[in-house]
Amino acid sequence: MPTSRGVVARALVFVAGIVAAGCSSGGSAPPAGTGGSSSSGGTSGSGGTDAGRSMTDAGSTIDGSTGLDSGTTTKDGGGVNPHLHCGDHVLDPGEQCDDGNKINGDGCDADCRFTCIAGPVGDAVCSDGNFCNGIETCSANHLCQASTTNLPDGTICGEVNKCLGGVCRSATADCGDTLVIAPEECDPPDGKGCGADCRFTCVSTDLTRDCKSTDICAGSPRCDDSTHTCLPGTPLADLHPCGTNLACVSGVCSSKYCGNHVVDPGEECDDGNGITGDGCEPNCKYTCAAGDPLRDCGAPNSCFNAGTCDTSSHVCDPFVPKAAGTGCGTGENCVQGTCRNAVCGDGIVAPSEACDDGNLDDKDGCTNDCKKNTPGCTANCSCQGNGDCDDGDPCNGSETCASNVCAPGTALGDDTACGTGRICIAGGCRLSVCGDGYTDSSIGEECDPPNTGACDANCKAQVKCDLTGTTWGVKIAVNVGWGDGTILEPTTGQLVQWAELSNITQGSDLKLAMKLKPCGLSIPDFPTTTDLGGEWYGVTFADALWEKPGIPVVDATGSLSNRAPGAVIKLDTVVILLGVTFTSPATPLGTWTDPTVAWTDLVQQPGVAVSDPDGDKHDGITANVKTGALPPADKPSSTGQYADVIADLNTPPARADQLYLAVKQVSSEVGSLDSCTSMHGAVTVNFLDNHIVGCLLDAQSGNAACSTQNEQIVDAVRPHYTVSSATYSAAAVPSGATCAAVRAAVP
């Protein structure tokens, strides 16, 4: 509703705002006795007794007192009181209107002023103070008019208020209305610091909103409490392991990554081994590809012939070095695929040399400047003593004189040092150079030959492996044969062993020291001859057996040829004993040399004793005899089933379904360090045999422990292995890995 001017205010205006109106400029008084009309301007109400007394100041009475007198004339610079005749229906000067009444709000108020004037000011006059019922307006005839439409419900009308039914009321939380009302923390949502629920996206003190990621690959994001937005962490490097068969890819833990053995989108291949040059590179691109100038098997340098790409394996055919001595620049020649300065005495006849016999002896057929061939003394030269036969080259052995004839010596092995910066190669003392195929640390080489994936043109390792502190799972596959047709049918198969190498140290001389622990054994099935029924026997070992604390851990040693992938790695001879121990005077290498010796005879030797490594209170390691149907690949038996092992010669015979074995193996290994986490190679098995040191009869035979006679018969039935070949493969595993993890790493 319109707001009227206050009565008190109007009274004050009426009393205090009287000014002269209608008077002449000289301010003369009206005629005496006119009764002091309000329109005449200033005579007293007593009949004009004050008619000649005008005010000299708008703020003083005639007698000097403050205020005005109803009978006193005022001066305002020539104007008159505009309200003197308000209400007489006459629009006098100073009035906006005069409707002859004293009613406010009817268009002309009691002070002869318009109730409102159309426009912003007038509208404000008409406001009823309620924002929600719409905006009041002023009509053309100066009347305030209420809005006919309330503002929409929900219109904000205060810090925590909204319009409802035309009235401004306290509001409740409504996310998105821009009002922040508990439990809201912000409004409106902006997709950044203010979430869709009108709560801060992150708060560092709130564990549920502290930006920490469940994906370890994201690094460690943190909350900026000033903006309530998450600041990114530093993502882990690509291919950082983040779970079983998972790795980081662009800061996200994913099963799709280069190295997962699956060709994912964008990959050409994925062999998962991280080895360069094997057909599939560590970036999951083919090593070579026909038509790709960057992968076309071009020669690595001028001392190699260009290769070709095998379109099926995507491996470059081996680059063939150009012939030693091929010129590759002024005063330079090729040596094992490397362009080197021609040096007299390196054994390579360069284009600038007439000869080069690998030494600087001036009297052996080639002068010490390699400029001239001269007649040299041969092995048939006459001699008086060994000194007459010495050709000055230690690598071809020490020559001797016998019956006045020089006889050659026994050549030293390749890579044997024969002087400062010189090594033996093919029986001759040669300058050690990058490209001769032998890594010589005395001249600063880290690898050789050069120009391979891991060895650069200067025989420096592009990747340097340090095995110190690493742990490896090793799988050894031994191809064996057994049986002489008397008890067991002649058969071949593969015996598989697993081991863990741990606590490795790698010295500056590339010598290795480590611990070796057996982690698994798989023995091939073996059949009896047809005379003994053509039965098939098989045994298995419980996985838990290899986790037992009594499984022996032995010291082992080895060496590396260099630190780069591709280096030769050797593991020296090591003896593995399971279920048997050797003490003085017996030694592991000097006892049990005859595989056909009976266990009962062997165990009587001084220094030989049985042990219980799996802790089941039975000597040896326990093997369970297989039961059930034979695999289809095996030779059919009369029943098609595995049989328990025969334990006596009765009819029917007693049989054993649990065997207790003692095992001895002596072996060494030499192979290639494929990468810093994988290797493979050949195994030399010097000795391999097992004995049955006890057994348990099956249920049909009484479930009793085998007698000595039973043990002897079961032991006689065991295979006596002959090794034809053996290989190994190995992969790095986490420190402290279980035997189960070792077997899984090299299945």
378 vs 486 pLDDT, higher one: 486
Full-model pTM: 0.48
Confirm if 665 and 573 have CB atoms less than 8 A apart.
no
Q: What is the pLDDT of residues 78-100, one digit of tens each?
A: 444 544 689 899 999 989 999 99
160 vs 108 pLDDT, higher one: 108
Dihedral over Cα of 51, 56, 57, 59: its sign: negative
Confirm if 232 and 219 have CB atoms less than 8 A apart.
yes
DSSP bridge partners of 559 = 511, 570
Buried b (16+ CB within 10 A) or exposed e, 422-435: bbbbebbbbbbbbb
Confirm if 278 and 287 have CB atoms less than 8 A apart.
yes
DSSP track, 137-158: EE-TTS-EE--SSPPPTT-EEE
181 CB-near residues (< 8 Å, 6+ apart): 160, 171, 172, 173, 174, 187
Sheet containing 167-170: which strands, arranged edge to edge? 156-158, 161-164, 167-170
- At residue 133, φ and ψ (nearest 5 deg) are -90, 15
Q: Average pLDDT of 116-133?
A: 78
Helix H or strand E segment including 671: strand 655-675
Q: Is the pLDDT of residue 163 over 60?
A: yes
Considering only CA atoms, which of 79, 70, 75 is closest in space to residue 57? 75
Confirm if 500 and 606 have CB atoms less than 8 A apart.
no
Q: Is the pLDDT of residue 33 over 60?
A: no
DSSP bridge partners of 175 = none
Q: How confident is the model at residue 164 (pLDDT cuts 50, 70, 90)?
A: confident
Q: Is the pLDDT of residue 4 over 70?
A: no
Q: What is the pLDDT of residues 590-625, one digit of tens each?
A: 666 555 555 665 666 777 888 999 999 999 999 999
Distance between CA atoms of 616 and 611, rounded to whole angstroms? 11
The CB density around residue 4, as the number of other CB atoms within 10 Å, is 15
Amino acid of residue 711: E
Q: Average pLDDT of 652-670?
A: 94
pLDDT for residue 427:
81
Q: How many Cα atoms sit within 13 Å of 19 on the Cβ side?
A: 13
Q: What is the pLDDT of residues 137-146, one digit of tens each?
A: 888 889 998 8
Q: How confident is the model at residue 573 (pLDDT cuts 50, 70, 90)?
A: very high
Confirm if 130 and 145 have CB atoms less than 8 A apart.
no
375 vs 185 pLDDT, higher one: 185
pLDDT for residue 558:
95
Strands 417-419 and 422-425: antiparallel
